[in-house]
Amino acid sequence: MRKAHLARLAGFCALVATGAAAAPAQPAESFYKGKQITMLIGTAAGGGYDTYARTLARHMPKYIPGNPVIVPKNMPGADGAVEMGSLYNSAPRDGTAFAALTNGIALDPLFGKFNGRFDSLKLGWIGSIGKLMNVCVTWHTSPVKTIEQAQKQQVIVSASGATSNSTMMPRISNALLGTKFKVVTGYTDQDVTLAMERGEVDGVCGLAYTTLKAARPTWFRDHKINVLLQVGMSKFPDLPNVPSAIDLVSKPEDKKTLELILTRQEMGRPFAAPPNVPADRLQILRRAFDATLKDPAFLADAKRLQMEVDPLTGEEVEKLLRTAYAAPKDVVARAAQLIP
């Protein structure tokens, strides 16, 4: 009788286990219905990343089954590390949290910064709204009007913080292209271009081209600036005669270094979920993100706000990172020396 009882008990447990395994996951619509999704933003309110993130938050919910509310939460500090720490270690992993990250934070551990605090390859990458394609320019009164001239004589350029693009790009150009940019730091983001306009400096190296074109259209119309160089993985169609940094690099090892550095720019304005979010919910967030960036209302808002929309899918961002983290050690070491 004891053996028969144990056999019946084992059969019952197997039936329960089979039923549990076969039970369908909670449908996405019922999971998200009535919920809030927290969107962390790694910069202060009012800046560029904040504008991009909040615009996405207004339009993305209609593409998530159940139409949850996305609530932005600014978490600036330590070049994005405060936000990344919260996302990686504290945020819920059920699909109710994701973050608008700064473009460089995902590669910082590769370059020896924030080692051990997070693993970028374990995050659930959702996508990127736009790439960060940069240009180096001088004011029309400057004697330096071409990149060839900038390789022969000193060019004083304004910059903001030590880790800003306006500091990093001249440094990279000097090391890999032989230019003679002299960087003057300490300007606010707004005063970087004003310093050029006022004649305090010759120019700026490391400006987002599409943003500059939208904000200062008269500079292009009236030929107020000389565009010396474009810095990105690909060239702008409307700058066919402006040389690309990646095309000017002659040594193969230098080109690999620049391509690795430009991965940061290519990622642009990325969004990611914490590690171990259920695969089906990560897919929901990814496809909702993709659909939002094609939405006419979102695109109208983006145009009004002078946002640069050149999207990458979550899968494309993940592929970029995997390629970067597989780079040879000597290339990584060289790139790390050039990034503040």
pTM of the model: 0.83
Other beta carbons less than 10 A from residue 43's beta carbon: 22
pLDDT the model gives residue 234: 87
pLDDT the model gives residue 212: 87
What is the Cα–Cα distance from 202 to 199, expressed in whole angstroms? 7
Torsion angle, alpha carbons of 20, 23, 25, 30, to 10 = -120
Phi-psi region of 124 (alpha: psi -120 to 50; beta: other; left: phi over 0): beta
Collapsed DSSP state (helix, strand, coil) of residue 20: helix
Report the chain (340 residues): mean pLDDT per 10 consecutive residues: 44 41 58 95 87 96 96 90 94 97 92 87 97 93 97 96 87 96 90 94 92 87 96 89 94 94 92 97 97 98 90 96 96 91
What tokens were used for 43?
A: 């910069």
pLDDT the model gives residue 26: 66
Q: Determine whether 233 is exposed, middle or buried from the number of CB atoms within 10 Å of its CB (0-12, 13-18, 19+).
A: middle
Q: Say if CB 156 and CB 128 are below 8 A apart.
A: no
CATH superfamily of 134-262: Periplasmic binding protein-like II (3.40.190.10)
Q: Where are the domains of the chain?
A: 35-130+268-338, 134-262
**Angle 208-324-183 (CA atoms, 0-180°, nearest 5)?**
40
For residue 236, give the nearest of 208, 262, 255 by alpha carbon. 208
Distance of CA 38 to the CA centre of its chain: 19
What is the Cα–Cα distance from 242 to 147, expressed in whole angstroms? 9
The DSSP letter of residue 328 is -
pLDDT the model gives residue 54: 97
Q: Say if CB 228 and CB 241 are below 8 A apart.
A: no
What tokens were used for 226?
A: 């000389």
CATH 3.40.190.150, domain 35-130+268-338, yes or no = yes
Asked if 35-130+268-338 and 134-262 have one fold, the answer is yes
pLDDT the model gives residue 297: 98
What is the Cα–Cα distance from 38 to 159, expressed in whole angstroms? 33
pLDDT the model gives residue 10: 44
